[in-house]
Chain A
Amino acid sequence: MMTETAPFRPIEAGSQPANDTPLYRSTGLRHPARPPLRIPQTVTETTGPRFRPVQFGPIADLSVVNRKQAVGERIIVRGRVVDEDNRPVPHTMIEIWQANTGGRYDHPGDQHDAPLDPNFHGSGRVFSDADGWYQFVTIKPGAYPWHNHHNAWRPNHIHYSLFGTGFGQRVITQMYFPGDPLLALDPIYHAIPDQAARERLISSFDINITSPDRALGYRFDFVLRGRHATPTEQG
């Protein structure tokens, strides 16, 4: 496999949230007060871990546990992982986690008074294919309250973790759903300054991903940081 070692291009202004976001209260004591140190990108930053399905087994259907169907609206999520130059990112690992249809995580820390579903755990792992496409089946997550401010509710969302091809491409984010009225009120979503960047976190309904008699389909694409154009090295 070719290992790319060209450095990543700078982050586009306004496209990433600032850690100092007072409307999201938990940031208060957790954001660094000093500006980050800009460092040159060495092999430590330009390369990254590789995950193979034989060691990190895929879980591509979150809607079934022990052959029993979870409660809620079954959906299919499909999309493509590319870089900023629109080159597909093949065979990259994608981790997924989310609340159940009632807005409850199968997690001891979640004390929301909504029922757990014995047939829904809410975590998955898939790999993009040779052209960067990924797909999984799940249950549409419910909204849930949190204690950030009075009457605060998180919009429906699915959490994602992607690794890409280098440490500098690592990204953890959330996918939202079109038409969700809670987006307008959500300080985590609005922490991203640029409106277009924000709206790219909203999936789109897609009739071509929708499976007849089975599940609605949503499209959600990822863009990982691009690299400066320099020759690649044999890895």
Chain B
Amino acid sequence: MLVATSHQTIGPYWHLIEDPAWSNLLRFGAEGDRIVLTGTVTDGGGELVTDAAIEIWQTSPAASDGFPAFGRCQTDATGSFRFTTLKPGPVAGLGNAQQAPHVAISIFARGLLTSLTTRLYFQDEPLNESDPVLSLIEDPARRATLIARKVSDDAWHLDIRLQGENETVFMEI
């Protein structure tokens, strides 16, 4: 059996492959429940992380020619990213379980030798209470690091802290 290739950092110059259009998952014409997802990334010293690549992937609505279900956005000078996408619905879990609506997130940056994986959930979703991943986190304050707060009718915001107080829950898959 072979062993998977090792990761290395994305480094500070990854913007050479950046296409800002990738942050708009509706650019190929998808229609539906349009939402905006924003976030801010900070490090263990409370400093803004201004050179990260944030990627999102969602399985609801399903990917199609009109909807890539995947996006990439840089964190800017204010440590912030912004995606336009479609609101996910519930997602099948293992067995008969149902997962709350969520978006998977990968974080790449200078100083990260391998990517960080996390999830974004939506405030006020009743299914959050029974979500099989959120349920693995006993401490409500830790669980809250994954739940984006609603900032307007169609926009949610998630603060991501790489290290220290209120450190985001990162996942191994």
Contact = CB atoms under 8 A, between A and B. Distances in A.
Given A16-B114, A107-B12, A174-B8, 16 more contacts: A12-B4, A19-B114, A31-B162, A38-B171, A38-B172, A40-B133, A42-B91, A43-B91, A106-B16, A107-B16, A122-B16, A172-B108, A172-B115, A173-B6, A201-B5, A223-B5
Interface string A201-232: 10000000000000000000011111000000
A122 B18 CA distance: 12
B57 A159 contact: no
A44 B91 contact: yes
A151 B67 CA distance: 47
A17 B7 CA distance: 7
A33 B161 CA distance: 11
Contacts of A121: 16
B15 interface: yes
Interface residues of A, number: 77
A159 B13 CA distance: 10
Contact of B5 (A34, A95, A200): A200
Interface string A7-23: 01001100111110100
Contacts of A17: 6-8, 113-114
B26 interface: no
Contacts of A82: 2
A12 B47 CA distance: 33
Contacts of B102: 44
Contacts of A174: 8-9
B20 interface: no
B162 A29 contact: yes
B159 interface: no
5 contacts: A12-B4, A26-B9, A28-B111, A30-B43, A49-B57
Interface in A40-85: 40-45, 47-52, 55, 82-85
B141 interface: no
A48 B4 CA distance: 17
Contacts of A33: 44, 163-164, 167
Interface of B: 1-17, 28, 43-45, 47, 49, 51, 55, 57-59, 63, 65, 68-70, 91-94, 99, 102, 104, 106, 108-117, 119, 132-133, 136-137, 162-164, 167-173
B8 A123 contact: no
Nearest to A54: B65
A82 B3 CA distance: 10
Contacts of A39: 133, 136, 171-173
Given A18-B113, A36-B172, A42 B93 contact: yes
B173 A168 contact: yes
A36 B69 CA distance: 25
Contacts of A50: 63
Interface of A: 8, 11-12, 15-19, 21, 24, 26-34, 36-45, 47-52, 55, 82-86, 95-97, 99, 105-107, 109-110, 121-123, 125, 159, 161, 167-168, 170-174, 188-189, 191-192, 196-198, 200-201, 222-226
A43 B59 contact: yes
A146 to B, nearest CB: 9
A72 B93 CA distance: 52
Contacts of B91: 42-44
A42 B162 contact: no
A167 B57 contact: yes
Given A42-B91, A170-B106, A16 B17 contact: no
Contacts of B114: 16-17, 19
B116 A32 contact: yes
Nearest to A50: B63
Given A49-B63, A173-B5, A223-B2, A109 B12 contact: yes
A173 B92 contact: no
